[in-house]
Amino acid sequence: MLLDTYGRVATDLRVSLTDRCNLRCTYCMPEEGLQWLGKSDLLTDEEIVRLIRIAVTRLGITEVRFTGGEPLLRPGLVGIVERCAALEPRPRMSLTTNGIGLKRTAQALKAAGLDRVNVSLDTLRPEVFKTLTRRDRHRDVIDGMAAAREAGLTPVKVNAVLMPGLNDDEAPDLLAWAVENEYELRFIEQMPLDAQHGWKRDGMITAGDILRSLRTRFTLTEEGADERGSAPAERWVVDGGPATVGVIASVTRPFCGACDRTRLTADGQVRTCLFATEESDLRAALRSGAPDEEIARLWKVAMWGKKAGSGLDDPSFLQPDRPMSAIGG
C-alpha cells in the first residue's frame, strides 16, 4: 500500500495524460499558452497502463481519475481506459475534462469502461465563458455534458470556479441549472496553481462567500464528516434533497488530514500533493528496464515522504513551479 508517515493511505490515483489544453482559462494559463512537453517526455500509452497496473495490483489503488491538461486531447485515451478496465481488481475510473470533446467521445468512453466524468463549467453565460477561457466554446461544453449523461457516464459532476468581477454572482443560477439537469455541482476555490503566478488570497471567492450566496435562494443542510469521508468536497443537501452541492475549499478549509490521493504527471513524475514542490521520477525507472517490484518500491518511498499539509497557510509557502495543466487536477 501507499502509506505515509501520518498514517494516510493513498487509494485514489490521478493520472495526467497530457499537459496540453484547448482552452486558455485565465486562472490556469496565459492567453498564448505554455511551452508544452515534448513527445519523448510524455509517457507512452503502454507506460501509462503499466504504471496504473502496478498501482492497482501491487499498491492498493482502487480509484483512477484521468486528467490533463485536457485528457480528451490524448489520442489513445479510449484504449487506455479499455485496458485499465480489464485489470483485476478493476478500479473505478473517471475523467476530468473541459467537456469540449465529450459529444463525440462519450459513448466510446462508456463502452471502454469509464464510469463517470467531471466537467469544468464556470458560467452559464456564453460571453463570460469566452472571457474566462478565451475561447467561444460554451455550447460545445453544454452539449458534451448532455452526451455524457445520455451515455451513462453518471453522476456527471460539474466543477465551477468563481472569479471576482466575472462570474461571482452566478452561484445560485449554476446550482438551479445543475439540479434541473441532474448534474452534481462542485464549487472549487481558486488555487495558487496558475502559470502566471498571479493568484492572490485577498479578493478570492471563498467557500463562505459561495455558501452565503447559495443560501439567498436555497436551504442547505450539511451532510457531515461521516458522509464526506476522504472526499475533497464538503457537501450540502439542497432544499431537502435528493440533490446536493459541494464546495472544495482547498485554501480556506483544507482537508489534508484525510487525503487519499497520489498523482502521476504526464511525464511520469509522482506528486504527493497538488502543491508539492518535489517530484519522484518513475519514467526513468520504466525506461531503464526496472521490474514492477522496483517501480512499486520507488512509488512507496515517494509517498512515505508526503507532508502533513499543503502549506498554504505557512508564510513561507511557495507556489509550485509547474502549473495545473502540467501536474493534473
Binding residues for [4Fe-4S] cluster: 21, 25, 28, 256, 259, 273
Can you say which residues are annotated as belonging to the binding site?
A: 14, 21, 25, 27-28, 65, 69, 96, 120, 157, 191, 256, 259, 261-263, 273
User: Do residues 95 and 113 lie in contact, with contact meaning Cβ atoms separated by under 8 Å?
Assistant: no
> Which residues are paired to 97 by β-bridges?
119
Provide the annotated binding site for S-adenosyl-L-methionine. 27, 69, 120, 191
Torsion of CA 257, 295, 81, 262, to 10 degrees: 10
Say if residues 189 and 250 touch (Cβ distance below 8 Å).
yes
Cis omega (within 30 of 0) for bond into 155: yes
Core vs surface per residue 196-228: b (16+ CB within 10 A) or e: eeeeeeeebbbbebbbebbeeebebeebeeeeb
Q: What are phi and psi of 117, to 5 degrees?
A: -135, 150
Which has the closest alpha carbon to 293: 113, 58, 134, 70? 58
| Known binding-site positions for GTP | 14, 65, 96, 157, 261-263
Class of residue 250 by CB neighbours under 10 A (exposed 0-12, middle 13-18, buried 19+): buried
Sign of CA dihedral 78, 83, 84, 88: positive
Closest by CA to 12, choosing from 228, 160, 230, 186, is 230
